[in-house]
């Protein structure tokens, strides 16, 4: 019997409305040079372009975060204890940290820790660059390759909406035309920043040894409760629903709710907290079928939840992640708050609570589908 292939993804994932549009299947299609599948519309799942050329190899089906074919294998490879480690995955300790570089701190989403770690890796030549995400408007997104501090500062901050990081890697990998344009980078080692769905696919590829995942040196994972879909109509509705002008949004944060920092003529700035429960009309449908809040397959996870303003919650996980975290702390790249056991327990409880809420949302969503 031939392995399940892209047609099965269409039947089992796309048609159920649970495709995360992560681009993983497209980026890592074994026959990418023939353009067999593509993400044609940023708001829709990938489609067949050249079905006749499909090798029916099953790679796309295997690596899709929504098929969960590789879950057990990944937990073994990446030193996880299996599903028993849910809901927040493997960890030894949880920290609340801040970048010591004033620029990363100023422009960071929370404590500017993610970008300051990437910058450290670049400066020490431990990586050639990183796939990050940049924005030029609230809720807009674009994956980008950065290899300098100025590039990182420019791309700082959280962009909601999904960022097709994996497709961006495709552009840098060896089997597409676009690699020609990027030859001057000559990169060997990359960091990648991503949400749990994005990193899941990367881990699958690393586990299967599929090019170009060998170039990914470190996976920096962001917490993620949900992401949003905004077309023009949704933007108008959002502005009306919350009495907000998108053009006035200065900063977006996301912890246990959505936090918008707005320009306000009378008061200068004001903060608006929007609970996730009020955002049901804007959530990407696929996020309802996702149950990983803390990015359990990353080398280090980062979020805002549990930490004070301008601090990032950090969960080092793998051996590689723990080593890097200790190094950046020792070298003064980041500093961590001294937390007593009561504060740590509180942080952990908040993170577990949010993770359980996400798991429950998925269970309810899947029940509705069946």
Ligand X SMILES: Cc1cc2nc3c(=O)[nH]c(=O)nc-3n(C[C@H](O)[C@H](O)[C@H](O)COP(=O)(O)OP(=O)(O)OC[C@H]3O[C@@H](n4cnc5c(N)ncnc54)[C@H](O)[C@@H]3O)c2cc1C
Binding stretches for ligand SF4 (CB under 6 A): 5-6, 9, 13, 19-25, 29-31, 36-37, 45-46, 54-60, 64-66, 162, 195-197, 201, 224, 226-227, 284, 286-287, 290
Backbone angles phi, psi at 29, to 5 degrees: -60, 130
* Binding site partner of 286, from ligand X, ligand SF4, none, Cβ cut-off 5-8 A by kind: ligand SF4
Contact 289, 365 (CB under 8 A): yes
Give 1's Cβ-side CA count (13 Å radius): 3
Strand segments (E) across 60-194? 95-99, 129-134, 142-146, 190-194
Contact 330, 341 (CB under 8 A): no
Q: Which is nearer to ligand SF4, 56 or 247 (CB)?
A: 56
Taking Cα atoms as reference points, which of 188, 193, 184 lies closest to residue 152?
Answer: 193
Contact 80, 296 (CB under 8 A): yes
Q: Which is nearer to ligand SF4, 45 or 306 (CB)?
A: 45
* Binding site partner of 303, from ligand SF4, ligand X, none, Cβ cut-off 5-8 A by kind: ligand X
Taking Cα atoms as reference points, which of 145, 143, 135, 78 lies closest to residue 109?
Answer: 135
Render the burial of 289-302: b for 16+ CB within 10 Å, e for the rest.
bbbbbbbbbbbbbb
* Binding site partner of 62, from ligand SF4, ligand X, none, Cβ cut-off 5-8 A by kind: none
CB of 281 to ligand SF4, least distance (A): 16
Contact 191, 220 (CB under 8 A): yes
Q: Which is nearer to ligand X, 28 or 104 (CB)?
A: 104
* Binding site partner of 114, from ligand SF4, ligand X, none, Cβ cut-off 5-8 A by kind: ligand X
CB of 180 to ligand X, least distance (A): 26
CB of 246 to ligand SF4, least distance (A): 20
Q: Tell the residue number behind the tokens 């008061």, with chain if given.
A: 267
Separation between Cα atoms, residue 238 and residue 4, nearest integer Å: 40
* Binding site partner of 88, from ligand X, ligand SF4, none, Cβ cut-off 5-8 A by kind: none
Q: Which is nearer to ligand X, 141 or 203 (CB)?
A: 141
Q: Which residues bind ligand X (CB under 6 A)?
A: 104, 108-115, 132-133, 141, 155-160, 163, 165, 193-195, 222-225, 227, 254-255, 302-305, 312
Q: Give ∠ CA 271-240-248 in degrees, rounded to 5.
A: 40
* Binding site partner of 55, from ligand X, ligand SF4, none, Cβ cut-off 5-8 A by kind: ligand SF4
CB of 254 to ligand X, least distance (A): 4
* Binding site partner of 163, from ligand X, ligand SF4, none, Cβ cut-off 5-8 A by kind: ligand X
CB of 106 to ligand SF4, least distance (A): 26
């Amino acid at each position: 019997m031939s392995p399940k292939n892209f047609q099965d993804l269409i039947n089992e994932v796309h048609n159920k409305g649970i495709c995360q549009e992560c681009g993983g299947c497209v980026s890592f299609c074994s026959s990418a040079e023939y353009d067999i599948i593509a993400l044609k519309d940023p708001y829709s799942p990938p489609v067949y372009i050249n079905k006749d050329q499909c090798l029916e190899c099953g790679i796309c089906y295997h690596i899709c975060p929504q098929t969960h074919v590789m879950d057990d294998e990944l937990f073994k490879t990446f030193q996880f204890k299996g599903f028993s480690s849910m809901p927040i995955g493997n960890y030894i300790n949880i920290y609340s940290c801040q970048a010591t570089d004033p620029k990363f701190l100023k422009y960071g989403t929370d404590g500017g820790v993610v970008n300051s770690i990437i910058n450290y890796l670049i400066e020490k030549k431990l990586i050639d660059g990183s796939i990050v995400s940049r924005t030029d408007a609230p809720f807009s997104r674009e994956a980008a390759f950065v290899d300098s501090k100025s590039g990182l500062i420019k791309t700082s901050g959280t962009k909601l909406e999904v960022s097709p990081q994996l497709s961006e890697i495709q552009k840098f990998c060896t089997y597409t035309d676009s690699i020609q344009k990027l030859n001057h980078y000559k990169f060997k080692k990359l960091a990648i920043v991503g949400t749990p769905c994005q990193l899941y696919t990367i881990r699958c590829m690393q586990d299967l040894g599929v090019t170009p995942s060998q170039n990914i040196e470190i996976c920096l994972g962001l917490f993620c409760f949900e992401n949003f879909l905004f077309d023009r109509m949704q933007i108008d509705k959002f502005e009306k629903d919350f009495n907000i002008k998108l053009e006035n949004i200065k900063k977006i944060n996301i912890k246990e709710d959505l936090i918008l920092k707005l320009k306000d003529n009378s008061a200068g700035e004001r903060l608006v907290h929007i609970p996730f429960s009020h955002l049901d009309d804007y959530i990407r449908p696929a996020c309802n079928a996702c149950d990983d809040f803390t990015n359990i397959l990353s080398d280090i996870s980062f979020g805002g939840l549990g930490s004070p303003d301008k601090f990032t919650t950090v969960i080092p996980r793998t051996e590689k992640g723990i080593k890097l975290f200790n190094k950046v702390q020792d070298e003064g790249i980041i500093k961590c708050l001294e937390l007593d056991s009561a504060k740590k327990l509180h942080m952990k409880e908040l993170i577990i609570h949010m993770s359980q809420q996400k798991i429950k949302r998925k269970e309810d969503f899947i029940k509705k589908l069946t």
